[in-house]
Amino acid sequence: MRKKYLKISKRFFVASLVALITLGVSACGKDEVKETTTNAESESEEPDIVFATAVYDEKKGVVVRVTPGFTGDAKEVFVIKDADGNVVPITDAKVVADTNITFTLGEEMDLYGEYTINYGNVTHSILLPVLYSREEFEDAYTYEGEDLGATWTKDATAFKLWAPTATAVSINFYESGDESADDLISTFDMTADVNGTWKAIKNGNLDGTYYTYSVTVKGSTVEACDPYARATGVNGKRAMVIDLDATNPEGWEADTNPNAGINITDAILYELHIRDLSSDESSGITNTGKFIGLTETGTTTADGISTGLDYLKDLGITHLHILPMYDYGSVDESKLNNPQFNWGYDPVNYNVPEGSYSTDPSDGAVRVKEAKEMVMSLHNAGISVVMDVVYNHVYNAEEFCFNKIVPGYFSRISDYGVYSAGSGCGNDTASERNMVSKYIVDSVVYWANEYHIDGFRFDLAGLIDTDTLNKAIEKVHETHPDVIFYAEGWDMKTDVTKKGYTLATQSNSTLIPEMSFFNDYYRDTLKGGDNSKGYATGNPAGYNAVKNMIKGYVSWSKNPSQTINYASCHDGYTIFDKITSTNSSATMAEKIAMNKLSAAMVMTSQGTPFIMSGEEMLRSKVNADGSFSSNSYKSPDSVNSLKWSTLSDAAYMDVHDYYKGLIAFRKAHAGLRMMTADEVNANLTVMSDTPAKVVACHIKGGANGETSKGLFVIYNGTSSEATVTLPAGNWTIYINEEKAGTTALGTANATVNVAKVSAMVLVQE
């Protein structure tokens, strides 16, 4: 079987992927999904029958769906032919419900061949089963080498491409990275090599030379970018050979993770879009919307308040979570004089920095160099870098380079030619296939190695298999043990192409123990669901859930190391907009109290705290009509930008100072940062004698290295002041309704009065 498979698949393949339905996406998961249908070809202007689908099922035969109204003997009037025009015998035909016809064949079809079905003047291709996930294909064509892509030296560049279904491959060399430029230098043939790879060596120093691959499959040739491209020209259409060492900033060899050695629960995660940081005129940042905007120091508002990098350093965060910074498709890099915005959850080239964030997208080396300069500047400021990665889908599945080179391999496509679209973006990644899994692992490792990335946040990881993510974590940790991993673990509906694979959902968290997950249970308990209030936003009814939250417990994981606690992120209302929209009659002071309580809960619960950029300055996303935006993925800068000038308002600065104090306090007290359920159970007690709907816990001295004699944390989400009984001894207050930090605010013993809608934290010293 294997020998026959190899012989046939070298000549043919992929007839199974002549898709009837192809989906492309111009903006992920939001509102722009394109759908096109390929209809039957016909010489007749008015065919008396139109095919909807024609699919070969190995058990049933050829199953055809046609328009209603067919009558007659299907066995006699339909003809099935192979690629050479030979007729395939039909032994039986059954018509079901006037629209479905099943043909039993006199011989098996060659699954690697090409067939059509004819009715009069109407001809339609027959879809064959997708074979990529079968054991025979995976055994024959899994390549484990680490040399895919272009490997540069000053004397020659070696090219290696995985294209197992191709009959010919060549490299096209160009003078520029502009796809529209007619500047072909030469074409160079590649040679078939092991496990479906193709190789070539081109002598000379090719640094800065742009290239594409021309790949011929079943007689049709397509041109595509290199899936393993390290640099590209404008809009990522042409790859570029690059001397990566030449892009390293001075001192890069000594650059390291400034927070190496800490646990994930020690991290303070701060989520930021590159453009949001600098696009408001009050930022004082020169390089608006650029990587190097995060290298500028000394930037201030008109009133002299620090912004940008200096601000982040002063705030005290440990990790900056950057929304997608790889090359994505929704921004036209050739039109940067026209401000454009997108979150970037629409991947085009996974291993290339986004060109619109560079000062020159037409030069592939510039984006690489400037991304490294940004990382190094953040490291020098004591801030680690987390990269938001989106391996679960691509911008346009049909145009994605991997799918063009090996038609449909990267995506989950049914035997009927339909893309699985659990992502909401028109396509899902087939991570369970060996070479897709390898690609994801290779990509994550590359960013950790080449760009010194300190953490990865996986978008919609519930569409990716646990094996792939465990491999990525293991491989990265071999050389970078301090890199952290967390993800969205929502349970998505997707059509996995292999049996025996589990997906990286919250409910499967035990299968991927070094991955943390966003805790939506925490979020919704704290601030409420879509149209409701939560414990911190005016409805303390969920106080029993808060008792689990404070311990870092959730149904899918008892270990606080796996829970990412947050009130808001880029997707959804900001916490302040949520408070405002559900408490329309509240005063500004009352809304600020709710914001402070939500922040205090996030910062003093067990687990890892996550802050959306601008939360600490009461960030609001206001549309032109005055409504709040809950999905600003392509809204203008006026909606998305950080409004630095608001910090000139004393009320806004007061909230900023409160967040800064919470961060400092959390860093000073290891008892808030336990990693395991066993530690929590041994050291944290939720109090049973608190007033109604008030939650409090006592943390023992020494817990997780806690240097004090104990901590006492209180949340009061009610509308009344509460008197809470304290454990025996004298206690010092460090967090109350007004201030937070490492400076004492007062003392208490026996009992303490806690203001309405506030938190209080005391330390026994």
**What residues are labeled active site?**
459, 488
Q: How far apart are CA 648 and CA 654, in angstroms?
A: 10
> Which position has the token pair 């890099």?
333
Angle (nearest 5°) at CA 101 between 97 and 104: 140
The answer to whether 509 and 515 have CB atoms below 8 angstroms apart is: yes
C-alpha to C-alpha distances, 206 to 177, 200, 364, 401, 690, nearest whole angstrom: 14, 13, 13, 22, 71
Quote the DSSP letter at residue 297: -
Q: Cα-flanking dihedrals φ and ψ of residue 714, to 5°?
A: -130, 135
Q: Which residue has the tokens 């007749």?
A: 44
Count of other CB atoms within 10 angstroms of residue 729: 12
- If we measure between CA atoms, which residue out of 183, 181, 237 comes closest to residue 212? 237
| Other CB atoms within 10 A of residue 758 CB | 23
* DSSP for 466-519, written as a single string: HHHHHHHHHHHHHH-TT-EEEE---------SSTT--B--GGGGGGSTT-EEE-
d(CA 203, CA 550): 62
Between strands 319-322 and 269-272, the pairing is parallel
On whether the CB atoms of residues 569 and 612 are closer than 8 A, the answer is: yes
Amino acid identity at 547 = K
Tokens of 222: 């397509």
Q: Which of 671, 752, 682, 681 is nearest to 714 (CA)?
A: 752
| Structure-block tokens of residue 345 | 């959850």
